[in-house]
């Protein structure tokens, strides 16, 4: 049985509204690429990674981006997953995020890669 909603909302071939693994990945993507203040009902939701798309690259900036993303994930999704590895890289006008995490429900490690920026 599904325990959430897919984003964007859809029904799969089995009549489910979300696959739990897909739902968790979608929650991560929404958190990482939502700007704080973007959601009226939760102005502190998000982590501001999109601000880095046009920022100059440096090891210090990468460390700040990683720390901000980890803090946001632990705050908003810490009850449903544990982060094992997180890498944030800004190249030209593209931001790449690679994350390895363990969902609390299954205990099976998963990986996801996200990209945002100007195409």
Q: Give the pLDDT confidence of 4-59 residue by residue, as tens digits.
A: 555 556 666 767 665 677 888 989 999 998 999 998 999 999 988 877 767 777 77
Does residue 77 have a pLDDT over 70?
A: yes
The DSSP call for residue 50 is: G
How is the chain split into domains, by residue range?
A: 20-117
The pLDDT, as a whole number, for residue 50 is 79
Reading the block at residue 60, the tokens are: 């210090």
The pLDDT, as a whole number, for residue 1 is 32
Q: How confident is the model at residue 2 (pLDDT cuts 50, 70, 90)?
A: very low
Higher pLDDT, 54 or 75: 75
Q: What is the pTM of this model?
A: 0.78
Q: To the nearest 5 percent, what fractions of the chain are helix, strand and coil?
A: 30, 25, 45
Fold of 20-117: Nuclear Transport Factor 2; Chain: A, (3.10.450)
> Looking at the DSSP assignment, which residues form a beta bridge with residue 88?
97
- Are 96 and 89 spatial neighbours (Cβ–Cβ below 8 Å)? yes
Higher pLDDT, 116 or 6: 116
């Amino acid at each position: 049985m599904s325990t959430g909603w897919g984003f964007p909302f859809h029904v799969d071939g089995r009549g489910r509204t979300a696959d739990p693994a897909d739902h968790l990945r979608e929650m991560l993507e929404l958190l990482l690429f939502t700007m704080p203040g973007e959601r009226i009902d939760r102005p502190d939701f998000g982590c501001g990674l999109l601000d880095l798309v046009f920022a100059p690259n440096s090891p210090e900036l990468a460390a700040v981006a990683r720390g901000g993303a980890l803090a946001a994930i632990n705050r908003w999704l810490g009850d449903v997953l544990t982060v094992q590895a997180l890498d944030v890289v800004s190249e030209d006008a593209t931001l790449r995020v690679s994350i390895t995490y363990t969902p609390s429900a299954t205990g099976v490690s998963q990986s996801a890669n996200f990209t945002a920026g100007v195409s």
